A and B are shown apart, each in its own frame.
Chain A
């Protein structure tokens, strides 16, 4: 399968007072189309920093990051905004839906910013994530699982190449977790590549590769089978 993301010796350092924090250290990573990679590690290990780099929300201190054939480290701010809009989808632990607008409008929002109004596409994506019939509901009227489905639909609306999920099931009830992860697996069949950052080893096993991060470095790679054993 073709490579969608290639990170080479990616570093992200920043200053905290007189101290230099090495959030990512010479990280190499390859992600293929239709692949799920899980990133595990404790808080502060660099999971979110990695997602921010891949999501073009932040620029690395050094190293190269090539996404869909484009070296994003060479892009200027406006080009990064444009690139992010067309190639990256984000999902967060707390869903972060806009409370004042309904399900349909939340999903439509990225299209509004991209000036690509397409109501039909919004309805299709909502159906894909299992929210058909709930278009007019406000976020507060939804369960946690449905809120995360809205967030996934919002992330998918611009046809991204990579979906970045930061603790996507962290705030969900036990019975809501598996359907969301199953949905991710379903999406990879369309060629979507997904990076999941999680503490939850049970969810991490959905990844084809499971990378363990510590102090901004990959210290181990696990398979879904070995991670199940690690959980005990």
Chain B
């Protein structure tokens, strides 16, 4: 028999107590691992998403640029508009490769429990998003519509089908369907810009302009020039990402503080369990001392019990987090202001190692005092104890 086996058998003696303690470790480690994975995954996915947009600057109506930018990314009804005339001023600025105006409008469909995002665009969008692959063709007529990949799935529509908007008594012909881009673009309904302006009563208006510059290093300088245009609020994607990550950072600090408390509680739980077991086994420990155990043996035994508890609980926590990553991701996405397409939970080996180190930390720390207490108990007094 090895000392480790003996330690496990001791833990098995009080099954309910051991299981309850294990559960607290499982919960703390599962939450920690999930948060670490989510944090890393979300940052990476957000960067990918913004880079895939191929857009360096976003121009929106004066107001809170972050709110508008968020709505543009997520899709929604923008509460303010720009006049199309700003496009002439923008086109005069050097260094801009392409500036694509859009009019975004959200059509709420309460009976289906969703909001359909209509985006009025023109050929400039096609130049901006030159990676788009359209099954079918771009608009030729005013009542043509192109569906994003997911929008087509929702509408069960094919090229050649018609889509009727009862709110506006308007029928569109589906002329193209976007191949999956893995971005928000997949969920939109694209119609000609002029049609959108007429249909939604915003003649000559747009909600935003997406701009790609020739040299990304010049994005800030160009944004500065754009800022001088009346009524225009400008945001670079780098700024947008920085702000989002900074907002995330605040939320992260709060969440990690809560996790830290959970961890402290589970550490105290482990300490309490092992300490109780030490008190209950005072005489047993005395016997072990009398039958040849040195102080270090008793210390090692109690410490092994704590480490076993932590390692078993921690490993279970990580396994549960790994298995539940998909479900956790679905839940988290619902509450995020911007949920990038693709996975936002990154199962990174580094996080795994960090969690394992953390589990060992719990075991080592929580085991120190009970192990010391047991090892230094006077064998004569422990044997006398009834």
Contacts from A to B (Cβ < 8 Å): 48, 52, 55, 57-58, 78, 81-82, 84-85, 89-90, 92, 96, 98-101, 105, 108-110, 112-114, 154-155, 158
Q: Are A81 and B6 in contact (CB under 8 A)?
A: no
Q: Are B6 and A154 in contact (CB under 8 A)?
A: no
Q: Are A109 and B290 in contact (CB under 8 A)?
A: no
Distance between B279 CB and nearest chain A CB, rounded to angstroms: 16
Residues A78 and B13 in contact in the complex (CB < 8 Å), given A98-B287, A109-B1, A113-B288: no
* Shortest Cβ distance from A111 into B: residue: B292
Q: Does more than half of chain B's interface fall in helix, strand or loop, or is it mixed?
A: helix
B289 within 8 A of A: yes
The 8 Å CB contact of A158, one of B9, B292, B380, is B292
Residues A100 and B291 in contact in the complex (CB < 8 Å), given A108-B1, A113-B297: no
**In the complex, which residues 1-45 of chain B have their Cβ closer than 8 Å to any Cβ of chain A?**
1-3, 6, 9-10, 12-13
Q: Are A57 and B380 in contact (CB under 8 A)?
A: yes
Q: Are B2 and A112 in contact (CB under 8 A)?
A: yes
Find chain B residues with CB under 8 A from A98 CB: 284, 287-288
Please measure, in the bound complex, the distance between the C-alpha atom of A52 and the C-alpha atom of B381, giving whole angstroms: 11
Please measure, in the bound complex, the distance between the C-alpha atom of A154 and the C-alpha atom of B287, giving whole angstroms: 11
Q: Are B380 and A113 in contact (CB under 8 A)?
A: no
* Shortest Cβ distance from B289 into A: residue: A57
Contacts from B to A (Cβ < 8 Å): 1-3, 6, 9-10, 12-13, 283-284, 286-295, 297, 379-380, 383-384
Please measure, in the bound complex, the distance between the C-alpha atom of A98 and the C-alpha atom of B297, giving whole angstroms: 15
Residues A112 and B1 in contact in the complex (CB < 8 Å), given A84-B292, A101-B6: yes
Please measure, in the bound complex, the distance between the C-alpha atom of A112 and the C-alpha atom of B383, giving whole angstroms: 21
Find chain B residues with CB under 8 A from A92 CB: 287, 383
Q: Are A113 and B2 in contact (CB under 8 A)?
A: no
Q: Are B290 and A57 in contact (CB under 8 A)?
A: yes
Q: Are A81 and B283 in contact (CB under 8 A)?
A: no
Distance between A1 CB and nearest chain B CB, rounded to angstroms: 26
5 smallest A-B Cβ distances: which pairs?
A: A85-B292, A110-B292, A96-B287, A100-B9, A90-B290
Please measure, in the bound complex, the distance between the C-alpha atom of A84 and the C-alpha atom of B12, giving whole angstroms: 30
Please measure, in the bound complex, the distance between the C-alpha atom of A84 and the C-alpha atom of B379, giving whole angstroms: 13
Q: Are A112 and B6 in contact (CB under 8 A)?
A: yes
Find chain A residues with CB under 8 A from B292 CB: 81, 84-85, 109-110, 113-114, 158
Q: Are A99 and B380 in contact (CB under 8 A)?
A: no
The 8 Å CB contact of A101, one of B1, B286, B290, B383, is B1
Q: Are A96 and B6 in contact (CB under 8 A)?
A: no
Please measure, in the bound complex, the distance between the C-alpha atom of A48 and the C-alpha atom of B290, giving whole angstroms: 13
Distance between B288 CB and nearest chain A CB, rounded to angstroms: 7
* Shortest Cβ distance from A116 into B: residue: B292
* Shortest Cβ distance from A109 into B: residue: B291
Q: Are B294 and A113 in contact (CB under 8 A)?
A: yes
Q: Are B379 and A57 in contact (CB under 8 A)?
A: yes
Please measure, in the bound complex, the distance between the C-alpha atom of A51 and the C-alpha atom of B158, giving whole angstroms: 95
10 contacts between A and B (CB under 8 A): A57-B380, A90-B290, A99-B13, A105-B1, A105-B6, A108-B1, A110-B291, A110-B293, A113-B292, A155-B291
Please measure, in the bound complex, the distance between the C-alpha atom of A1 and the C-alpha atom of B136, giving whole angstroms: 110
Find chain A residues with CB under 8 A from B291 CB: 89-90, 109-110, 113, 154-155
* Shortest Cβ distance from B386 into A: residue: A94
Find chain B residues with CB under 8 A from A52 CB: 380
Residues A100 and B10 in contact in the complex (CB < 8 Å), given A52-B380, A57-B379, A113-B297: yes
Q: Are B297 and A100 in contact (CB under 8 A)?
A: no
Distance between A226 CB and nearest chain B CB, rounded to angstroms: 32
Find chain A residues with CB under 8 A from B297 CB: 113
Please measure, in the bound complex, the distance between the C-alpha atom of A85 and the C-alpha atom of B379, giving whole angstroms: 14
7 extra interchain contacts, Cβ-Cβ under 8 A, other than A108-B1, A110-B292?
A57-B290, A57-B379, A85-B292, A98-B284, A100-B9, A109-B288, A110-B291
Please measure, in the bound complex, the distance between the C-alpha atom of A84 and the C-alpha atom of B13, giving whole angstroms: 29
* Shortest Cβ distance from A52 into B: residue: B380
Find chain B residues with CB under 8 A from A101 CB: 1, 6, 9
Please measure, in the bound complex, the distance between the C-alpha atom of A84 and the C-alpha atom of B283, giving whole angstroms: 18
Distance between A90 CB and nearest chain B CB, rounded to angstroms: 4
Please measure, in the bound complex, the distance between the C-alpha atom of A105 and the C-alpha atom of B2, giving whole angstroms: 10
Q: Are B287 and A81 in contact (CB under 8 A)?
A: no
Interface centre among A84, A108, A155, by most chain B C-beta atoms within 10 angstroms, is: A84
* Shortest Cβ distance from A84 into B: residue: B292
Find chain B residues with CB under 8 A from A82 CB: 294
* Shortest Cβ distance from A95 into B: residue: B287
Please measure, in the bound complex, the distance between the C-alpha atom of A58 and the C-alpha atom of B383, giving whole angstroms: 12
The 8 Å CB contact of B3, one of A57, A78, A90, A112, is A112
Distance between B18 CB and nearest chain A CB, rounded to angstroms: 12
Please measure, in the bound complex, the distance between the C-alpha atom of A58 and the C-alpha atom of B13, giving whole angstroms: 31
Find chain B residues with CB under 8 A from A100 CB: 6, 9-10, 12-13
Please measure, in the bound complex, the distance between the C-alpha atom of A58 and the C-alpha atom of B284, giving whole angstroms: 18
The 8 Å CB contact of A78, one of B12, B287, B290, B294, is B294
Q: Are B293 and A113 in contact (CB under 8 A)?
A: yes
Q: Are A96 and B380 in contact (CB under 8 A)?
A: no
Please measure, in the bound complex, the distance between the C-alpha atom of A58 and the C-alpha atom of B290, giving whole angstroms: 11
Distance between A106 CB and nearest chain B CB, rounded to angstroms: 9
* Shortest Cβ distance from A166 into B: residue: B383
Distance between B14 CB and nearest chain A CB, rounded to angstroms: 10
Find chain A residues with CB under 8 A from B13 CB: 99-100
Please measure, in the bound complex, the distance between the C-alpha atom of A155 and the C-alpha atom of B291, giving whole angstroms: 7
Distance between B6 CB and nearest chain A CB, rounded to angstroms: 7
Please measure, in the bound complex, the distance between the C-alpha atom of A109 and the C-alpha atom of B294, giving whole angstroms: 12
Find chain B residues with CB under 8 A from A81 CB: 292, 294-295
Find chain A residues with CB under 8 A from B379 CB: 57
Please measure, in the bound complex, the distance between the C-alpha atom of A108 and the C-alpha atom of B291, giving whole angstroms: 11
